[in-house]
Every structure is written in structure tokens, then in C-alpha cells.
Structure 1
């Protein structure tokens, strides 16, 4: 993979590095010169990413297991980053988990509350823990992940709780941008369309109708998105190239939300 220096000299704290978008962001940030600190709830997956980085001659430090729905673990992660590098310049809130069910089958605790904790609460908890560190460094970039589902519904997708969680991330990020502006803290979100990850691959393979529905809803219908499509947007938001960008949402979705 090509290496560059768009993030040279920056320290990036990336969550959910074990797979999918978080893993891709961690590796691509390191390739762009950032010193990457990561975490994941899944120890084996996180260690695999660390080893993949080493195989490329890169270094990713990881704290695992780390449960970001626990306020204590969120604070522990931030303190670990401070102890290693006196803080960080970029916070990438890629970690998330969700439960999918139609409203008639949706259980309050198993589906609704679990999803809001895994998509909204953990972003709030880590932003809150990271805020004093970013203030002390004179600012930084927070990158949150909303979703195309925060802007639209997709036929065939039982994503009620997911839509609510990611809609909350979208709104929360705008508020963080307002509160962080005077302190030099930028906060932006990325709304991915349907991305092929470990979490979506099986569903895409076993439900060809859903696969076709997703492609038909895109203005660029040739393929489902890949984690790299999202990581490039995150690199831009973490770099000095976006120093005048805050409170915005980048929809990286092959035009799905423009339909």
C-alpha cells in the first residue's frame, strides 16, 4: 500500500480497529504518517490489525479489550493515550454495534437499548472523556460516523434503532462543533452508504434482493462501498486540509441520499 505524509506529526486515536471501517482507518492513517492509537472490544481482532500494521512496517498501539459503553473504559482509553503521547490530535469514533429488527419484533433491551448504547452512547462517552485533552492541546479533529440511514430509509432493511442511533450522532456532532469552535476543536461526521464489512457481508451474500435494492438506490450502482472509500474521507477530515471544516457531514454513499 502507498504511504504518504498527509497526517505526519499527528496522533490519532481510532476506535474499533478490529475490523471494517475502524480497521481501515487505523491502517490508512498510519500509512499517511499518523501515530495511531487504537482499541477494540475484540482482543484477537485488534491484535490482528496490530500485526498487519507491523507487516507493513507500521506501528499501531492498541488497548484491548476496551468496552466504550463503559464510562470507566472510555476514560481509561484517554488516559492511556495521554500516558503514551500526552494526548492526541484526532479522535476517530469508528467503533459501533447495532441490532436490526422490524418494529413489531423489536425488543426494548435486546434491540433498541443495545443499539443506542452501541451507536450513540459510546460516541458521547469518548467525546466527553477526550474533550479536556483536546482543549489542552489547543484543538483537534473529532470524526464521528453517522450513516446514510440517518438521512433516508432503505426498503428491506429493518434498521429502526440504527436510524435513530446514527441520527443522534449526526445531531450531536453539530452541537460538538458549536461547543468546540472557540477552543479550536473541529467536529465532523461521515455518513457512509452500504459498506461491505464483516457485519454486512453475510447479509449481502444471502439476500440478493437486498443487494439489488441497495445498488438500485445508488446513483453509482456498480458496486457496494468498501471501508477504504470511507477512510479516505476520514483522512481528509483529520488533516490540516480541512482546517476550515467543522459541523459538516460528508455523505460517502454513491449518491444514495441524493435520490
Structure 2
């Protein structure tokens, strides 16, 4: 308990899946949480749960590809809690799991980059100045092993996730002097609503493909990513910036 005591954390995608688990865990560890999501109903349910368990959290409707929404979210955090110390860029969308470049729909490509890449850029853009005002902070961006190797989510998805890694490294270099750290978590397959498509009959072969590449023999859970994000958000990782923490059941060891 208390690993994030005194910190104010904005978490995107907090209405379900990995973001929801992060919001629960961060609040349990003492953070004041601003949960952002387009799914207002699901988000409010998570915020209510956190409050019922003694945590401190508020909900903001957030389209992460909208600069105006980000300005409001960060302003709300500062007006409510006085500062921003942590940003966790979790929200994202999955594209076609097997999308080769020549077959990729251009509009789908634009959507994947606008949400998965631009969204994290905007969050960082608006949160960094507030972090600097308070003496520093930590940005944790949820990418994917699909940003490190091919064959883990489709071409557009992989491009966006690779972009997150490059962006995070640049933020680490540019703002290290301001004590703003920037790191990436690269999950493998995690059981979330986004990955539920793998449970369909049409994706049975794809699911087995991913399982065969995972030495631990099973997919991860959202809490596995939440604990990784917690470590990088906390002062326990105060000398870690510009790197990737891979949480994939051993896929990248193959």
C-alpha cells in the first residue's frame, strides 16, 4: 500500500480492460486518479467502485485523439487535485489482427495512428508542462510487442505501437533535465475486451498461433500490465527512463 501516495495520475482507457485495472491498483496504492474514457458508463462504474473501496478518483469523458478533450482533462486534474504527476497512456484500438500492407485499408490505417499514436502524443503534450511545474513526473505508455516485432497484430497496429516507443524515447531525452521520465510497457496477448476477437471461431487458428509463441502457455491478465505500470509510475523506478518493459509471457525470448 502507498506506493503512489501523494501522486495524481491520469489514466486513459480506464473504463475497461487494462486501464480499469490500472485505475483500481493506482488508487489502492494511494494515487488520486483521473480516469479518462469515451465509454462514460463503464468508466463511471469503475470510478464508483474505487470510491466505494476508499479510493479518490474522478471520471472525465476523453476522446484521446482530441486536443480539446485533453486540455479539459488536464485542466480538470489540476483544478481538482492541484497537479499532475503521472500519465498512463493506455487507451487504444486494435486493427485487423492479420492485416498485410497491400491489403490494409487506408482509412483503418489513419484511425489506428490517430488513436493509438496521436492520442498518447496529445496526452504527453498537455501533461508534461504540469509535471514540470511540480518538479517532474512519470509518463507510462502502453505499447505492444507488436511494436518490436512483426506478426503481432497487423501492419497498421504495429506501426502505431512502434511509433509509441520512438516517441517515448524522445520524450525521455528531451525532458530528462526536468525530471520527467518516459517509459513504455510492451504487453503480449492480454485477456481484455480488445482481444476478445481471438475467442471467436474465425480467429481460432490465430489464437493458437499466439499461444504457441508464448513459453508460459497462456495469455496475461490486465493486472499483469497494471503492476508493470505501477512500478514505472512510482519512485521505485526513479532512475529508469527511455526504456521498454516487456510483459509477454516469454514471447520475445523466442
* Shorter-chain TM-score range: over 0.9
CA shift for structure 1 position 205: 4.1
- The superposition leaves residues 210-253 of structure 1 with CA deviations (integer Å, 9 ceiling, x where unpaired) of 222111111211x2111100000011001110001000100000
Return the alpha-carbon distance in structure 2 between the equivalents of residues 184 and 143 of structure 1: 14
Are 1:176 and 2:171 matched, yes or no? yes
The answer to whether residue 161 in structure 2 is matched with residue 163 in structure 1 is: no
SS of the residue aligned with 2:103?
Answer: coil
Q: What is the aligned partner in structure 1 of residue 247 from structure 2?
A: 252
Q: Distance in 1 between matches of 2:200 and 2:145?
A: 21
- Distance, in Å, in 1 between the alignment partners of 2:158 and 2:199 is 19
Contact 2:95–2:153 (CA<8 Å) still a contact in 1?
Answer: no
Q: 2:81 aligns with which of 79, 85, 98?
A: 85
Distance 1:56 1:189 in 2: 29
1:216 and 2:212 correspond: yes
Q: What TM-score do the two structures reach when normalised by structure 2?
A: 0.95
**Corresponding residue for residue 51 of structure 2:** 54
What residue in structure 2 maps to residue 140 of structure 1?
A: 137
Q: For the Cα contact (< 8 Å) 1:141–1:238, is it kept in 2?
A: yes
SS in structure 2 opposite 1:28? helix
Q: Distance in 2 between matches of 1:91 and 1:158?
A: 25
- Contact 1:39 1:46 survives alignment (8 Å): yes
1:5 is matched with which residue? Answer: 2
Matched residue, 2:33:
36
Take 2:33 and 2:83, find their aligned partners in 1: how far apart are those partners? 11
Find the residue that maps to 1:251 and give its secondary structure: strand
Pairing 1:67–2:63 present:
yes
Give the deviation of 1:153 after TM superposition.
2.2
1:7-65 deviation per Cα after TM superposition (whole angstroms, max 9, x unaligned): 1111111111011111110011011111111110111111111122233232321112x
Q: Which ranges of 4 or more aligned residues in structure 1 deviate by more than 4 Å?
A: none
RMSD value, Cα:
1.3
Contact 1:98 1:118 in 2 (8 A): no
Structure 2: gaps of 5 or more residues: none
Pair 1:18-2:20 in alignment: no
Is 1:196 paired with 2:191? yes
Secondary structure (helix, strand or coil) at the match of 2:150 reads coil
- Whether 1:103 aligns to 2:98 is no
In structure 1, distance between residues paired with 2:243 and 2:53: 33
Q: Return the alpha-carbon distance in structure 2 between the equivalents of residues 212 and 98 of structure 1.
A: 18
1 CA distance for matches of 2:241 and 2:188? 21
The size of the alignment, in residue pairs, is: 251
SS at match of 2:164: helix
Measure the CA separation in 2 of the matches of 1:12 and 1:58.
13
Where 1:244 maps in the other structure, the secondary structure is coil
Give the CA deviation at 1:203: 2.1
Q: Please, which runs of 5 or more residues in structure 1 have no aligned partner?
A: none
